[in-house]
């Protein structure tokens, strides 16, 4: 590697050193971010100072927090007028950005953010706007609609963010942006983020930004001759399944897996340990002494897998490190080069595997450019591969035990006794012993888990959606509901409406998303019963939101939302099986069953 690999990849500054509000710093700590990403370290002070900002940054760099954290720190919660307007090219991004604001404002009681985008019921948005929101995140078309109807007023606006400006240009929103900018007060602050800087975006910047600070993350190049790079297009909760398959099939000596947060290091280490891998977390919350101990165990071979954040892995030099997995994509190419430099050491060959989502493909191209290598797409091992590998390893162990001349005579005696006492054949005894040997970690049957129909449908939708994002995002069909895949980090609630009222899961999602700042995507599993239903909502929803949801009506009946109390009456209102109007709930049930078959331990069904 030509790069000096002791160079820190992120700023050494901490969040606490930035003049962010204490509530925001606390939220960032809760989320588990260790240090600001480079774009954050550079942008946050400028935005806090009130300067306009031109940020050359793409998805994955942490750009959302780069503007959300300082903007939240400056909000005046005593006024419910919109103070920040964020324009995004697609409704998906609008939802994501609104969720990010919500996450970072978790210690700001009374804070409201409202996503507004095409394809969503106008009435809900109008009600939300009437109620008041401090931050509006929207797609240009819908924001224009609201400005024209005067349902959105920008008199108190303090700041505008143009997010993914080049995407908005690509989708033909330039004139809309110009028009919206003209409706904003003269003295507002503007932050424009764009992955590239085409002429028209430069023109918008020149017209609407006053003496902007420019923030750009330099892409360093580095040669990585001793490292084979691969990419695996995988996202969300499929990452854990993909990782497990790779760990089963890919021959590795030691491996470091990079994630973005301290919390994720611990969670992933626990999940891998539970699946029988020798894994441990390495993060900045651990004392220096503890970190050294963990690294020492890795060097000595009592540990094979480290799950680390960038900060914790800085300067790590372990010769046996054969593999690096970028479980979460890094913020920039420099961080990537630094991460993969943990392998291919002392002249050995290393393998670097990157998990990336479709949305992160631009970062993937930048990485290829920075490492001057094409990154081959990796085929994910099939369950058949996993099964074959496990059986091969088992056979090798049997042969090795015999080759090593282990003391087996006493066992031969037991076999002889079994044979005479029970008239058993050697084949039957060996088969029974094989079964006993693998029973705690059964060989997989080699079959791929059925992808739930809903998931297949969503994937098709997503692909179609990605192809023609703009149009559909603004004018197209109903918003895609891409809700959380499991109920982790969620609380189960009971609502007082059920099949007797003729409701569907969609009615509940619509009512809750429209009447609160919980987006449809954040609503978990729904189950319909005859007289009531259950619904999972994210932990930490504030009391006033829960209160207001009590009175929301669906089919003319108040939800009367309450935390679910298991009163044993479930058999009285057992859900009906099959598809039909409440089918969605059951498909989500099946979603929850895609767990690790290796141990026969399927993903626990929280509501079973």
The contact set with ligand AMP (CB under 6 A) reads 33, 36-37, 40, 59-65, 260-261
* Burial degree of 555 (CB within 10 A; 0-12, 13-18, 19+): exposed
Give the other-Cβ count within 10 Å of 397's Cβ.
10
Min dist. Cβ of residue 452 to ligand AMP (A): 25
The whole-angstrom separation of Cα 597 and Cα 503 is 35
Least Cβ distance, residue 399 to ligand AMP (angstroms): 46
Report, in Å, the least distance between residue 294 CB and ligand AMP: 21
CA of 405: how far to CAs of 398, 426, 431, in Å?
A: 11, 20, 22
CB of 530 to ligand AMP, least distance (A): 40
Residues facing residue 159 across a β-bridge? 84, 189
Nearer to ligand AMP by Cβ, of 134 and 262: the residue is 262
- Report the SS3 class of residue 499: helix
Least separation in angstroms between CB 264 and ligand AMP: 9
Q: Residue 362 Cβ, how far from ligand AMP at the closest point, in Å?
A: 11
Nearer to ligand AMP, 237 or 394 (CB): 237
Question: 33 or 355: whose CB is closer to ligand AMP?
Answer: 33
Q: Which of 41, 87, 59 is closest to 188 using CA atoms?
A: 87
Residue 36 or residue 381: which is nearer to ligand AMP going by CB?
A: 36
How many CB atoms within 10 Å of residue 606? 14
Instruction: CB nearer to ligand AMP: give 59 or 592.
Output: 59
- Residue with Cβ nearer ligand AMP (161 or 316): 161
Which CB sits closer to ligand AMP, 62 or 498?
62
HEC-encoded secondary structure of 527-553: EECCCCEEEEEECCCCHHHHHHHHCCE
C-alpha 30/C-alpha 52 separation (Å) is 29
Residue 305, beta-bridge partner list: 255, 279
Judged by beta carbon, residue 18 or residue 129, the one nearer ligand AMP is 18
Q: How far is the CB of 86 from ligand AMP (least distance, A)?
A: 12
To ligand AMP, the closest distance from the beta carbon of 336 in angstroms equals: 14
Strand partners, 527: 534
8 A C-beta contact, residue 370 and residue 333: yes
The 8-class DSSP code of residue 479 comes to: P
Residue 486 or 607: the one with the smaller Cβ distance to ligand AMP is 486
Contact yes or no for 61/193 (Cβ under 8 A): no
The rounded distance, in Å, linking the Cα atoms of 442 and 387 is 10
Strand partners, 353: 230, 325
49, two tokens: 């100072």
| Cα distance between residue 561 and residue 516, in whole Å | 13
**Rounded to the nearest whole angstrom, what is the least distance from the CB of residue 98 to ligand AMP in the complex?**
13
């Amino acid at each position: 590697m030509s790069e000096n690999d002791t160079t820190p990849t992120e700023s050494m500054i901490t969040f606490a050193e930035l003049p962010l509000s204490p509530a925001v710093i606390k939220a960032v700590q809760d989320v588990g971010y260790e240090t600001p990403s480079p774009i954050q370290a550079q942008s946050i002070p400028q935005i806090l100072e009130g300067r306009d900002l031109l940020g050359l940054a793409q998805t994955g760099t942490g750009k959302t927090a780069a503007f959300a954290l300082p903007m939240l720190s400056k909000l005046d919660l005593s006024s419910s007028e919109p103070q920040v307007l964020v324009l995004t090219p697609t409704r998906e991004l609008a939802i994501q950005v609104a969720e990010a604001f919500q996450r970072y404002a978790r210690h700001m009681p009374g804070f409201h953010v409202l996503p507004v985008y095409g394809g969503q019921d106008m009435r809900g948005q109008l009600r939300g706007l009437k109620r008041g929101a401090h931050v509006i995140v929207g797609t240009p078309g819908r924001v224009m609609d609201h400005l024209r109807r005067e349902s959105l007023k920008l008199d108190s606006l303090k700041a505008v963010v143009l997010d993914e400006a080049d995407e908005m240009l690509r989708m033909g929103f330039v004139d809309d942006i110009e028009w919206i900018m003209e409706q904003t007060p003269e003295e507002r602050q503007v932050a424009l983020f764009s992955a590239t800087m085409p002429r028209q975006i430069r023109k918008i910047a020149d017209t609407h930004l006053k003496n902007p600070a420019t923030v750009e993350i330099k892409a360093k190049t580095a040669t990585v001759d001793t490292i084979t790079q691969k990419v695996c297009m995988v996202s969300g909760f499929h990452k854990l399944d993909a990782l497990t398959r790779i760990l089963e099939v890919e021959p590795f000596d030691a491996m470091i897996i990079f994630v973005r947060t301290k919390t994720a290091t611990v969670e992933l280490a626990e999940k891998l340990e539970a699946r029988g891998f020798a894994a441990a977390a390495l993060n900045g919350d651990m004392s220096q002494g503890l970190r050294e101990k963990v690294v020492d165990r890795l060097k000595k071979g009592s540990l094979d897998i480290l799950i680390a954040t960038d900060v914790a892995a800085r300067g790590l030099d372990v010769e046996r490190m054969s593999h690096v997995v970028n479980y979460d994509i890094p913020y920039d190419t420099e961080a990537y080069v630094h991460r993969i430099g943990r392998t291919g050491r002392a002249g050995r060959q290393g393998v670097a595997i990157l998990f990336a989502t479709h949305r992160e493909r631009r970062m993937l191209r930048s990485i290829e450019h920075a490492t001057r290598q094409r990154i081959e797409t990796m085929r994910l091992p099939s369950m058949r591969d996993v099964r074959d590998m496990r059986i091969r390893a088992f056979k090798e162990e049997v042969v090795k035990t015999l080759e090593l001349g282990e003391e087996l005579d006493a066992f031969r005696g037991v076999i002889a006794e079994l044979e005479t006492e029970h008239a058993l054949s050697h084949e039957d005894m060996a088969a029974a012993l094989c079964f006993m040997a693998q029973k705690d970690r059964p060989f997989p049957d080699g079959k791929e888990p059925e992808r739930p129909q809903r998931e297949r449908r969503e994937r098709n939708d997503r692909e179609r959606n990605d192809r023609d994002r703009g149009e559909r995002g603004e004018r197209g069909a109903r918003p895609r509901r891409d809700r959380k895949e499991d109920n982790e980090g969620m609380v189960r609630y009971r609502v007082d409406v059920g099949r007797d009222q003729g409701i569907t899961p969609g009615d509940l999602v619509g009512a809750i998303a429209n009447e609160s700042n919980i987006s449809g995507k954040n609503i978990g599993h729904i189950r319909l019963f005859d007289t009531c239903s259950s619904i999972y909502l994210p932990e930490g929803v504030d009391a006033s939101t829960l209160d207001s949801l009590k009175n929301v009506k669906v089919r003319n009946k108040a939800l009367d939302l309450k935390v679910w109390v298991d009163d044993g009456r479930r058999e009285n209102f057992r859900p009906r099986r099959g598809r039909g109007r409440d089918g969605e709930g059951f498909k989500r049930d099946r979603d929850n069953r895609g767990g690790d078959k290796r141990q026969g331990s399927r993903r626990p069904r929280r509501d079973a």
